[in-house]
Structures are given as C-alpha cells and as structure tokens.
With several copies, the nearest count.
Chain A
Amino acid sequence: MGKAIGVKLIDELGRRHDGRLPDQMRPVKMRINVLENADGSALVEYGRTRILAAVYGPREPVQKFMALPDRALLRVRYHMAPFSTEERKSPAPSRREIELSKVIREAFEDIILVKYFPRTAIDIFLEVLQADGGTRTAAVTAASLALANAGIPMKALVAGVAVGKIEGQLVLDVDEIEDGSGEADMPVAYAPDIEKITLFQLNGVLTREELERGLDMALNAIRELVELEKRTLKEEYVSTEEV
C-alpha cells in the first residue's frame, strides 16, 4: 500500500504532497456517452483514479425468477481491472469488491425511481480502470452520470467524495498515498438537490467535532461535483483542469 514512513504529507504551509490545499479536490474529468452498447455510460476521473460506468436497462432480468412485482431489480457490480492497482489484482471478486458493490447499490436504491419499472432489471456496471484512492466515491459519481445518460429517472443526481484525516488534519479527496498513512477515511455520497446522504462510511478514528466538519467538507465538494455532472450532461465532457 506504499505506506511512506517518515514522509511528511502536509507541509508547514498546509500544502499536501501533490500541492493541494486541504479542502481541494484533485482535477476532475467527466465524460458521458463513452460506450456504444450500454444504454448509458460515463468516464469519471479524480486525479489518476479512473472509473468507467455502464448502465443497462430497464430490461428483462437475466434470471426471470428474480423479477420483483412492484419495482425494478437493481444490480450493481463494482469491479477492479487487474491492471488498475499497484500489484495485479485477481479478477475474481474480492470481499472488498462484494462489500462495495452492496454499499453502492444501496446508495441508489432510494434515488432511482424503481417503482416506475416493475419486473425489470437496471444494471450498473462499474469498472475501476485505475485506482489511486477514492474509487468507490468516484464510482458513485460515474454511476449517477451513466444513469442520467441512460435516461433512467432519478430523484436527484448523486456524487461522492472521501474526506480523510492525515497528520491530524482533515483533507478532501484523499489519494492512495494519503489513504495509506491516514488516520481516517470517510467516503460520502450525497444528493444535494434533495439533501440526502446515500452512502456513508468511516474507517478510522474521528472526534464528534471532526466528523461534523469533515462531513460538511464532503457535502460542499459534492455540491460542486453535482454541478459538474449537470454541465457534463449538457456538454458531454467537462474537466476542471481546463477551467
């Protein structure tokens, strides 16, 4: 995990190892319509973290006995490409991938208007092409874009970002180096237009005060991310590097 021992991750001026300020995102890129076969698709980058999302559906469930009489069945797969990580990842689903598929699915169960499509399946396939921290939250953002691109009706757009604590300080959008030596990592997904937090985890230790402050840092960033999503849905491609 590249735990860099002895390396200072925040300098005396409050700058992080890549020059960012504590509450600064990495450069973000969003693009939709990146795949031909999928009903909707998106590519999202937070720095070097790169997620490809495809949405299929509403369509007939592959296994018909799974169909639900009163709503769409949601299927979510969060999966890492074998070449996305420092050491090659076996393509078989890890326990981590199984858990993240669940929490990401649960982040959308109450967002997608599943009651409109009884007896169908909506599939969200998320491929981590390159992993450099924050993959699950970037995956939520990519899923939100791909769902909108597929024309699936949603209560609101969702985006995600993680807040970390490193060297005693709260920082936004932790990358892998920061995560590896951080004291806490708190991924959050949020739908600002309806003020709903749909994914929330904390690994590590925070005080009550830090939790509240970190949460607000995440929600603020997500508001901007959702604005970027909206622009992307109009313009097909958006990059904060170009801004």
Chain B
Amino acid sequence: MSLTPFKVPIVPELRKNTILSLLAKGLRTSERDLVTPRIVRVKTGVIERAEGSAQVELGNTKVLVGVKTDVGAPFRDTPDEGVITVNAELVPLASPLFEPGPPDENAIELARVVDRSIRETNAVDRKSLAIIPGSKVWVIHVDIYVLDHDGNLFDASMLATMAALMDTKLPDYEELETGEIILDRSKKTMPLKINKKVLTVNIAKIGDYLVVDPDLDEETVADTRIVIAYDEEGNIVGIQKSGPGAMTREEILKAVDIGREAVKIYFKSLEEATTSAE
C-alpha cells in the first residue's frame, strides 16, 4: 500500500517563492542554470573486496554501489542467461528522513527504475553470464547504498550502478566433475560484457520551469518529476514520472529534449572515471 507521505518537511512558502523568482531569471540557488546538473564526481574501485564498485557525488548527494557475484540457477524461461538483481538501501545514515527497516516504496522504485534501464537495454550481456547453460549461471547483485541524500537519487544511483558494472570483474572459477562450480574470489579477471551504457536524467517541474538534477530543496517544492533514461545514441530507454503532480504533453516532450543534452555531461563523467581507472 502506498500512502501520502505524512512526515515530509514542510517547505516554507517563502522558500518556494525564492526558488521560483530565481528560476524566472534563469538561476538556481546552487548557482547553475536550469539545464545543467550539479558537479559530478565518479570514482570506481572504491570497495576493493567487491567484484565491482563505484561512488558518485552529485553535489552533496552521495551514492555508493557495490557489485557482488555468485553462481546460481537461471530463471526457467531464460535458461541460458545470467541473473542481475538490483537492490537499493536508503540507510538512515544518509538523511534524517530515512529510518531503519526494509526498503520502502521509494527505495523499491529507485531500484526498479535502475533495474529496468539495465534490463530492457540488455546493458549487461546476460547471455555471456551463462556458465553451464540451463543449470549454472552468474548471479550479479547490484547494491545501491545511499550515503548522503541531497536530492536526485535516481541519476546518482544510475551513474554509480553503470560505473560499478563497468568496474566489475568476475572471480575465477573451477568446474568440478560433479558440475559444481568453485569460485576463487582472490582472483578477479574477467570483466562483465557491457552491451550498452545507460544513464538517466531527472528533471523536476517547478511552477512552469523544468530543471535538470534537482537538489533536495528543489525536489521538495517541485510539482512533479520525470526520470528519463538514455543510451549513448540518445535513444530513450526508460521513463518514470515520479512524485505526485502532473505534466502536460508538451512538458514531457520538452523534458525529453532537455534530458538528451544533459545526459552527455553524465556520460562524460562516466567515461573519464572508467577510462582513468584502467
């Protein structure tokens, strides 16, 4: 069941007015224009013992993603494909708004949006994750860990996930005569096969303005938000309207166009981080 959040901070009307009057001048409280994300920092390999990892800072928002791998059974309808799971934890360390407990609807939505972006584009080649087709495949666990929440967890999580997957190397293994697979996690050599890179752009509608990468203040006063996933060719590979409120047809199409430009900045950060890491 989903409930109207009843513990959100109430944003003073004044704050909203300030934000709106800045937007009318093309400005934002964080000193950037409407279509530019905050400063992005991507770092891979931050958890040495994980098979892959990345930390992303998007302004003051900080997200850590770790990838662990295991050997398991494939799904019955895709016997020759590996399995990828995405889980998100909004740990209470990250915000006074988060409480300990199982993932709530926000964490689940976050994980599922990231999951679909990867899955629908076959971003990670799942066929290459079969070890013994029909019985043993790689299971890739992507765990999104939010460390500091200052808005726009979507883009930060997607970027960290993509970077962590690109950072991932599968452990060496030995196949016993019994068919059992023995992992040697001390040696990780085989990188994941990445078919496609996918990132999202989160755009908030505040009054009549569309702003890229809203910070927490902006999210709180926003009328609604839309998260759009793109591949490197600019195809639209996933969308989620998130948050109460509505948009017009024209606003959606405009957001798609704004996002397609903005995502290039994220792709650039991703590329710098993943090539510098080599």
Contacts and interface: CB of A to CB of B under 8 A. Distances in A.
Query: Which of A48, A184, A205, A207 has the most chain B CB atoms inside 10 A of its CB?
Result: A205
Contacts of B68: 82-83, 87-88
B252 A130 contact: no
Contact of A75 (B3, B94, B102, B245): B3
A35 B252 contact: no
Main secondary structure on A side of the interface with B: mixed
B3 A74 contact: yes
Contact of B239 (A86, A111, A191, A200): A200
B87 A106 contact: no
A208 B62 CA distance: 31
A7 to B, nearest CB: 13
Contact of A77 (B100, B116, B141): B100
Given A87-B68, A99-B112, A132-B49, A195 B252 contact: no
Contacts of A204: 120, 237-238
Interface in B68-109: 68, 70, 77, 87, 89, 91-96, 99-100, 102-103, 105-106, 108-109
A93 B223 CA distance: 28
Interface stretch (A16-24, A166-174, A211-219, A228-236): A211-219
A93 to B, nearest CB: 8
A26 interface: no
Contacts of B64: 81, 129
A35 B92 contact: no
Contacts of A191: 246
Given A95-B112, A207-B236, A103 B145 contact: no
Interface residues of A, number: 81
Contacts of B235: 205-207
Nearest to A122: B4
Given A37-B150, A98-B108, A125-B91, A92 B248 contact: no
Nearest to B55: A129
Interface string A169-203: 00000000000000010100001000111111111
Given A48-B48, A84-B47, A109-B245, A201 B105 contact: no
Interface in A50-105: 50, 52-54, 56, 59, 62, 65-68, 71-77, 79, 81-88, 91-93, 95-96, 98-99, 101-105
B185 interface: yes
Contacts of A207: 235-236
A101 B91 contact: no
Contacts of B243: 106
A241 interface: no
B49 A86 contact: yes
Given A74-B4, A205-B237, A130 B48 contact: yes
A195 B248 contact: yes
Interface in B221-253: 223-224, 226, 231, 234-249, 252-253
Contacts of B112: 95-96, 99
A204 B173 CA distance: 33
B249 A197 contact: yes
Contacts of A36: 60, 62, 148, 150
B246 A37 contact: no
B176 interface: no
B152 interface: no
A67 B3 CA distance: 11
B214 interface: no
A129 B47 contact: yes
Interface in A9-55: 35-38, 41, 48, 50, 52-54
A243 interface: no
Contact of A200 (B1, B237, B247): B247
Nearest to A105: B2
Nearest to A186: B239
Given A66-B6, A99-B105, A203 B238 contact: yes
Contact of B102 (A71, A92, A125, A201): A92
Nearest to A101: B2
Contacts of A206: 235-236
Lowest 7 A-B CB distances belong to which pairs? A83-B66, A109-B244, A196-B246, A202-B239, A88-B68, A101-B2, A54-B93
28 contacts: A35-B62, A35-B94, A37-B96, A48-B48, A53-B93, A68-B4, A72-B4, A74-B4, A75-B2, A82-B66, A83-B47, A83-B141, A87-B68, A98-B105, A102-B106, A103-B240, A109-B4, A130-B48, A197-B249, A198-B245, A200-B239, A201-B241, A202-B240, A204-B237, A204-B238, A208-B260, A212-B253, A215-B249
